[in-house]
């Protein structure tokens, strides 16, 4: 969190926070987001609910009246980083006090949930601690702060989980562009032994079908063309449809595909055990379900998978990939990997490398195991030396980069549909998004944001593609 005053882009995830319409004499909030796309979504919701209280957003802490740090607890020294950011904010608050100007500091997200009033005890600069399940109480909590109280809001009733925050208004959605996140599920009951999520985000709760459809329709009405359904364990989503039938994520996708205006669907993050037949068939039947799937395996060793409590083997995963590819041959896969889980031997690590070779990924995230206090993994024997973890991570990442590069190069000469998202830096250029999530830079005169056009790829960068509009093919999916 060294860049507390620099920008408001999330550190690990994408998706900008956008400004609410500024009006005179409003207070300003700076939201710094760490971690996953769920945090990006939550930060937007917090900014939306504060807009209703007269706050506009700003890009730096320097001109903010309220700084909210939306924290991530998943790896590494999240709380140390938080406290050093809070140290800088304390200095800023002292300077402001001399100038007679106030600064309110709030901590949100998973560290807030995990540490609660430990944060206000350790860091007197903090006025407010709010956990992910209590964001709907943020305006009231701030009102209490203004009365001079220091507030810790981390307790919640399970049925409150989707009280959450109001869906964004039309203008707010418009300002964020033609792609949007939509949370459909929160929490996790899987209890992988390395992971804090079941503790910080609590048990799995699915949002009701009607609520999701209503929000999706509102987003479509405001011009959104691509929806990404979010959940910590998104494919564990289940809900009750009108006739009282139980739905899984597959059924929900078929339903959302009917919404006029929505042209593309995605979902993230999935667990291999929740990829059921209907969901796999949705990949076969729905062209608009993008052919890109993030399906973490974490390790290729059955021994380690068992110790991680993943409840599947490497062979189960490979068979599943085969079925998914059978349903949608152009699907590209991404994954998450952990190296150096307690007890991981060279042989276990080689099994992970083998799974990577067998699957071939288009993109992937790989991490050194980081013991999280309170999780079973932290108390296991056989912690792996840091130097060994470093070495394994380097080897794994070299293989994954090679695969990513090969995937990028394989697209040269291919035609694909690209959703135009914004104007490029150079006049006449537009930036779009490929079916596989890469940004595509296109020389298109007259292309409109929100159009889906057919593009031929002529070159690639590390993550991006460079394309030209196919002249002999009509735009497709435009509105």
Nearest to ligand 5AD by Cβ — which residue? Answer: 336
Q: Does 233 bind ligand SF4 (CB under 6 A)?
A: yes
Q: Which stretch binds ligand SF4 (CB under 6 A): 154-162, 192-200, 317-325, 444-452?
A: 192-200
Cβ proximity to ligand SF4, 190 vs 218, nearer residue: 190
Supply 327's token pair.
Answer: 């349903």
Q: Which is nearer to ligand SF4, 123 or 195 (CB)?
A: 195
Can residue 192 be called a binding residue for ligand SF4 (CB under 6 A)? yes
Please state the separation of Cα 365 from the chain's center in Å: 13
- Binding residue per annotation — 32? no
SS3 state of residue 40: helix
Q: Is 188 annotated as ligand-binding? A: yes
Nearest C-alpha neighbor of 313 from the set 323, 324, 302, 303: 302
Q: Is 337 exposed, middle or buried (0-12, 13-18, 19+ CB in 10 A)?
A: buried
Nearer to ligand SF4, 96 or 273 (CB): 273
Query: Which residue among 69, 142, 188, 430 contacts ligand SF4 (CB under 6 A)?
Result: 188
Minimum separation from the CB atom of position 350 to ligand SF4 (A): 23
**CA within 13 Å, CB half, 110:** 25
Contact status: 190 vs ligand SF4 (CB under 6 A) = yes
- Cα gap 49→63, rounded to integer Å: 20
| SS3 assignment, position 170 | helix
Q: Which is nearer to ligand SF4, 191 or 254 (CB)?
A: 191
State yes or no: 195 annotated in a binding site: yes
Q: Do residues 317 and 358 lie in contact, with contact meaning Cβ atoms separated by under 8 Å?
A: no
Q: 129 vs 188, which CB is nearer to ligand SF4?
A: 188
Residue 75's binding partner among ligand SF4, ligand 5AD, none (Cβ under 5 to 8 angstroms by kind) is ligand 5AD
* Alpha helix ranges (H) inside 14-108: 37-51, 78-99
CA dihedral 257, 324, 477, 234 (to 10 degrees): 50
| Orientation angle between helical segments 277-285 and 314-327, nearest 10 degrees | 30
CA 224 – CA 276 distance, rounded (Å)? 28
Q: What CA–CA distance (Å, rounded) separates 422 from 425?
A: 10
* Nearer to ligand SF4 among residue 232 and residue 434 (C-beta): 232
| Residue 144 labeled ligand binder | no
Residues in the chain: 479
CA distances, 222 to each of 15, 55, 170, 171, 182 (Å)? 17, 22, 5, 7, 14
Applying CB under 6 A, does 195 fall inside the site for ligand SF4? yes
Closest to 130 measured CA to CA, from 149, 103, 156, 157? 156
Binding stretches for ligand 5AD (CB under 6 A): 74-75, 194-195, 296, 298, 336, 338, 367, 369-370, 372
Q: Binder to ligand SF4 among 43, 232, 403, 408 (CB under 6 A)?
A: 232
* Nearer to ligand 5AD (CB atom), residue 48 or residue 344: 344
Annotation-wise, does 190 bind a ligand?
A: no
Residue 174 touches ligand SF4, criterion: CB under 6 A: no
Options 25-33, 109-117, 189-197, 316-324: segment touching ligand SF4 (CB under 6 A): 189-197
Q: Which does 369 bind (CB under 5 to 8 A by kind): ligand 5AD, ligand SF4, none?
A: ligand 5AD
DSSP annotation string for 314-381: HHHHHHHHHHHHHH-TT-EEEEEEEE--TT--HHHHHHHHHHHHHH--SEEEEEE--PPTTSGGGG-S
Which of 109, 168, 198, 300 binds ligand SF4 (CB under 6 A)? It is 198
Closer residue to ligand 5AD in complex, CB, 44/299: 299
Residue 136 or 294: the one with the smaller Cβ distance to ligand SF4 is: 294
Residue (75 or 271) nearer to ligand SF4, CB: 271
Q: CB under 5 to 8 A by kind: which of ligand SF4, ligand 5AD, none does 372 bind?
A: ligand 5AD
232 binds, among ligand SF4, ligand 5AD, none (CB under 5 to 8 A by kind): ligand SF4
Q: Is 72 annotated as a binding residue?
A: yes
CA atoms of 365 and 363, how far apart (whole Å): 7
Do 364 and 337 touch, CB atoms closer than 8 A?
A: yes
Residue 328 near which of ligand 5AD, ligand SF4, none (CB within 5-8 Å, type-dependent): none
Using rule CB under 6 A, residue 249 touches ligand SF4: no
Q: Which does 191 bind (CB under 5 to 8 A by kind): ligand 5AD, ligand SF4, none?
A: ligand SF4
Shortest CB 477 distance to ligand 5AD, Å: 31
Residue 369 beta carbon to ligand SF4: minimum distance, rounded to whole angstroms: 12
CB 108 within 8 A of CB 132: yes
Give the residue ranges of DSSP H helices in 100-208. Answer: 109-115, 117-122, 138-146, 170-176, 197-200
435 interacts with ligand SF4 by CB under 6 A? no
Q: Say whether 304 sits in a helix, a strand or coil.
A: helix
Least CB distance to ligand 5AD at residue 74 (A):
5
Residues of the shown chain interacting with ligand SF4 in the complex, contacts defined by CB under 6 A: 188, 190-192, 195, 197-198, 232-233, 271
Q: Which residues are annotated as a binding site for [4Fe-4S] cluster?
A: 36, 72, 110, 188, 192, 195
């Amino acid at each position: 969190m060294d860049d507390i005053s620099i920008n408001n882009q999330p550190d690990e995830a994408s998706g900008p926070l956008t400004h609410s319409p500024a009006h005179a004499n409003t207070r300003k909030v700076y939201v710094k987001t760490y971690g996953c796309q769920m945090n990006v979504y939550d930060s937007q919701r917090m900014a939306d609910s504060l807009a209703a209280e007269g706050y506009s957003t700003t890009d730096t802490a320097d001109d903010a009246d309220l700084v909210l740090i939306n924290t991530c607890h998943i790896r590494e020294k999240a709380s140390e980083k938080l406290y050093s950011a809070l140290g800088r904010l304390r200095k800023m608050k002292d300077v402001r006090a001399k100038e007679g100007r106030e600064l309110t500091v709030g901590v949100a997200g998973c560290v807030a949930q995990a540490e609660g009033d430990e944060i206000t005890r350790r860091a007197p600069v903090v006025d407010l601690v709010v956990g992910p399940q209590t964001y709907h109480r943020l305006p009231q909590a701030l009102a209490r702060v203004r009365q001079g109280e220091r507030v810790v809001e981390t307790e919640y009733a399970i049925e409150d989980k989707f009280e959450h925050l109001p869906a964004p208004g039309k203008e707010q959605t418009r300002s964020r562009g033609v792609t949007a996140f939509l949370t459909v599920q929160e929490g996790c009951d899987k209890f992988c032994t390395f992971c804090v999520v079941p503790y910080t985000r609590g048990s799995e709760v699915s949002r009701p079908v009607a609520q999701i459809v209503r929000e999706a329709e509102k987003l479509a009405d405001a011009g959104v063309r691509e929806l990404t359904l979010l959940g910590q364990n998104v494919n564990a989503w289940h809900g009750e449809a009108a006739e009282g039938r139980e739905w899984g994520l597959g059924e929900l996708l078929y339903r959302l595909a009917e919404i006029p205006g929505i042209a593309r669907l995605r979902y993230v993050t999935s667990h291999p055990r929740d990829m059921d037949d209907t969901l796999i068939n949705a990949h076969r039947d729905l062209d608009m379900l993008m052919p890109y799937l993030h399906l973490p395996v974490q390790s290729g060793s059955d021994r380690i998978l068992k110790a991680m409590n993943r409840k599947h083997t490497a062979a189960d995963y490979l068979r599943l990939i085969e079925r998914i590819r059978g349903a949608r041959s152009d699907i590209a896969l991404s994954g998450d990997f952990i190296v150096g889980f307690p007890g991981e031997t060279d042989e276990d690590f080689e099994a992970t490398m083998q799974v990577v070779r067998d699957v071939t990924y288009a993109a992937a995230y790989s991490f050194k195991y980081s013991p999280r206090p309170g999780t079973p993994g932290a108390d296991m024997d056989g912690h792996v030396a840091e130097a060994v973890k470093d070495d394994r991570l380097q080897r794994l990442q070299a293989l994954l980069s090679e695969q990513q590069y090969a995937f990028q190069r394989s697209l040269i000469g291919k035609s694909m549909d690209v959703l135009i998202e914004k104007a490029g830096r150079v006049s006449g250029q537009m930036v779009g998004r490929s079916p596989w999530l890469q940004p595509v830079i296109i020389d298109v005169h007259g292309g409109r944001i929100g159009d889906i056009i057919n593009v031929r790829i002529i070159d690639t960068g590390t993550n991006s593609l460079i394309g030209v509009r196919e002249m002999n093919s009509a735009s497709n999916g435009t509105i």
